[in-house]
Amino acid sequence: MIDLLTALLLTSAYAQDIGVLEGIAFDGLTGLPLQEVAVRVGERSVETDEDGYFRAELPAGEYTVYLDAPGLNDGTVEQVY
């Protein structure tokens, strides 16, 4: 089971219509971070690092986060605003 911890933060360094989505993908059973997981949000695609961390700058809005990793069945994880 893969869990995703995310937070959508607006940064003051950018115009208010740009946000930053940051998160950590981790194994829900062991609590260990998952590296090299493909994370797709809108038209952006990023990969988690060795700590399971990812970061994407996006236009402000509502998104569905998709993960692509071995053992993950449906890939849709969470909606973020």
Nearest CA among 69, 18, 19, 15 for reference residue 6:
19
User: Which pLDDT score, from 0 to 100, does residue 54 have?
Assistant: 92
CA dist 71 → 28, 39, 74 (Å): 12, 15, 10
Write the pLDDT tens digit of every residue in 20-71.
Answer: 888 888 887 788 888 999 999 888 899 999 999 999 988 888 888 888 877 7
Whether residue 65 contacts residue 44, with contact meaning beta carbons closer than 8 Å, is answered with: no
DSSP readout, 20-53? EEEEEEEETTT--B--S-EEEETTEEEE--TTSE
Question: Which pTM value belongs to this model?
Answer: 0.70
